[in-house]
Amino acid sequence: MLKFFILYFYLIFQAITCFSVNQINVGNKYSLIRNPQSNVPLKVSIIGSGNWGTVVSKIIGMNAQKLKIFHPIVKMYVKEEIVEEEKLSDIINKKKENIKYMKGMKIPENILAISNLKEVIDDADLLIFVLPHQYLDNVLDEIVQNNNLKKNARAISLIKGIKMVRSKPQLLSDIIEKKLDIECLALSGSNIAEELSREHFSESTIGFEKKGNEVIWQNLFDRTYFKVNCIQDKPGVEICGALKNVIALGVGFIDGLTASYNTKSAIIRIGLEEMKKFAKMFFPNVLDETFLDSCGLADLITTCLGGRNFKCAKEFAKRKGRDSWELIEAELLNGQKLQGIDTTKEVYDVLEYHQLKTEFPLICTIYEISFQKKNPCSIIDVLSTKKLRNIKYK
């Protein structure tokens, strides 16, 4: 009870200081903010409270306490479930801990868990989408139905994946933009949630298209232990986040076969090349440097060394492809789902439709091993040719 009183006074205090004379002149400091209401602190809502969402609530909660351009109370949407005979949202608000998805990490006092989506969206200026991609459509439908989204709200997507619409890859951030008619950026990087919960130094990348709001988002996410690069290339950032999981399957196969570092690093290298080629085919303006940022190279390395997709693919190869992905998932992931498998299917369908299979030998072989009973060893065959490589002249 005492805790609630302290929280109450704390929040009142924050709200007062927010409008005090010490307030940074937002219009000057963030001259890129063109919102006419820019002197009013921006209200932030987080849509999602899984392990990554919960860690994001810590990062953003701390920044919202510190920076006066943000409203001190941050709402977090919790898809209600019962944990130890209590509602998860109640547990989070009382204990300041998400005991189901990020046990042991303290959630800042100014995070308010709410299970009613309408209430979370109400009044929000900045929406952070951080939920499994399979729930996105439903959540967007509900937001549209509720009809209480601010017109000048802005969003950022932390969701990994791409969706194929009429055989063209579509960015999840673009789907959010179209459905809600608001701008949506993307954030992706080498960000294992559990490591960030313990404040291990990490980097991340925000991809944006139009100049204007990137500085706000950078301020909202940047911490001394979480450095955020912003790059004017949203498709590049998002394609990296999706395709890395496909390449991680390939590296996992190798690890199950020979565990050769030479071969694994070659697969990562060729994988990055195919990721870039794919991105450039469908989004011609992507930048080379995006693939060298945290969302590209760094996240690819992390995902290819210890992620879920890597682990399951390793097991798949060890069992010589005899067991189904469903079985391996069930045995290894404790109810979590593999993202790489869906993405591999989606990407392969696109390549097949556009008759581009020969240009992406690695991705196509990963698909064939995963779904067409091809021997996991064949991932090496596709690389081991007698043909000499082309020479690169200046």
Q: Catalytic positions, please? A: 244
In this structure, the strands spanning 202-207 and 183-188 are antiparallel
Task: Note whether 231 binds a copy of itself by CB under 8 A.
Answer: yes
Tokens of 192: 């294992």
* DSSP letter for each residue of 177-235: HHHHTSEEEEEE-S--HHHHHTT--EEEEEE-SSTTSHHHHHHHH-BTTEEEEEES-HH
- Site stretch for a copy of itself (CB under 8 A), options 130-138, 265-273, 336-344, 346-354: 265-273
- Residue 297 per-residue DSSP state: I
Q: Which of 62, 99, 140, 266 binds a copy of itself (CB under 8 A)?
A: 266
> Is 155 annotated as belonging to a binding site?
no
Task: Note whether 302 binds a copy of itself by CB under 8 A.
Answer: yes
Contact between 280 and 286 under an 8 Å Cβ cutoff? The reply is yes
Instruction: Name the strand (E) or helix (H) holding 327.
Output: helix 325-333
- Site stretch for a copy of itself (CB under 8 A), options 127-135, 142-150, 176-184, 222-230: 222-230
Task: Note whether 272 binds a copy of itself by CB under 8 A.
Answer: yes
Question: Shortest CA distance to 229 belongs to which of 261, 202, 250?
Answer: 202
- Site stretch for a copy of itself (CB under 8 A), options 15-23, 97-105, 138-146, 190-198: 190-198
Per-residue CA distances from 256 to 172, 253, 267, 311, 316 (Å): 32, 5, 14, 9, 8
Per-residue CA distances from 238 to 222, 242, 348 (Å): 19, 6, 18
User: How many Å apart are CA 270 and CA 274, to the nearest integer?
Assistant: 6
> Is 161 annotated as belonging to a binding site?
no
- Site stretch for a copy of itself (CB under 8 A), options 6-14, 88-96, 106-114, 294-302: 294-302
Task: Note whether 28 binds a copy of itself by CB under 8 A.
Answer: no
> Is 193 annotated as belonging to a binding site?
yes
Task: Note whether 258 binds a copy of itself by CB under 8 A.
Answer: yes
Per-residue CA distances from 375 to 55, 313, 322 (Å): 39, 13, 10
Q: Which of 106, 178, 211, 277 binds a copy of itself (CB under 8 A)?
A: 211
> Is 334 annotated as belonging to a binding site?
no
Closest CB to a copy of itself among 142 and 381? Answer: 381
User: How many Å apart are CA 383 and CA 31, to the nearest integer?
Assistant: 51
Q: Taking the complex as a whole, how short is the minimal distance between the CB of residue 375 and a copy of itself, in angstroms? A: 15
Question: Shortest CA distance to 60 belongs to which of 209, 299, 226, 293?
Answer: 226
Helix (H, G, I), strand (E, B) or coil at 93: helix
> Is 50 annotated as belonging to a binding site?
yes
What is the signed CA dihedral for 192, 197, 200, 201, rounded to 10 degrees?
80
Contact between 143 and 155 under an 8 Å Cβ cutoff? The reply is no
**Measured over all CA atoms, what is the biggest interatomic distance in the chain, rounded to whole angstroms?**
74
> Is 49 annotated as belonging to a binding site?
yes
Task: Note whether 391 binds a copy of itself by CB under 8 A.
Answer: yes
Task: Note whether 353 binds a copy of itself by CB under 8 A.
Answer: no
User: How many Å apart are CA 227 and CA 248, to the nearest integer?
Assistant: 24
> Can you name the residues that pair with 42 across neighbouring β-strands?
70
**Which residues contact residue 21 at a Cβ distance below 8 angstroms, ignoring those fewer than 6 apart?**
none
Q: Which of 67, 228, 242, 362 binds a copy of itself (CB under 8 A)?
A: 228
> Can you name the residues that pair with 229 across neighbouring β-strands?
205
Task: Note whether 342 binds a copy of itself by CB under 8 A.
Answer: no
> Is 160 annotated as belonging to a binding site?
yes
In total, the chain counts a number of residues equal to 394
Contacting a copy of itself within 97-156 (CB under 8 A): none
Contacting a copy of itself within 233-252 (CB under 8 A): 233
Closest CB to a copy of itself among 45 and 204? Answer: 204
Q: Taking the complex as a whole, how short is the minimal distance between the CB of residue 186 and a copy of itself, in angstroms? A: 15
Task: Note whether 255 binds a copy of itself by CB under 8 A.
Answer: no
User: How many Å apart are CA 225 and CA 215, to the nearest integer?
Assistant: 18
Closest CB to a copy of itself among 204 and 344? Answer: 204
Task: Note whether 91 binds a copy of itself by CB under 8 A.
Answer: no
Q: Which of 89, 93, 190, 344 binds a copy of itself (CB under 8 A)?
A: 190
Q: Taking the complex as a whole, how short is the minimal distance between the CB of residue 123 and a copy of itself, in angstroms? A: 27
**Residues in binding site for substrate:** 160, 308-309
Point out which residues bind a copy of itself (CB under 8 A). 190-192, 195-196, 200-203, 211, 214-215, 218-219, 222, 224-225, 227-233, 258, 260-266, 268-269, 272-273, 285, 287-289, 292-294, 297-299, 301-302, 305-306, 380, 383-386, 388-389, 391-394
**Residues in binding site:** 48-53, 160, 193, 308-309, 337, 339
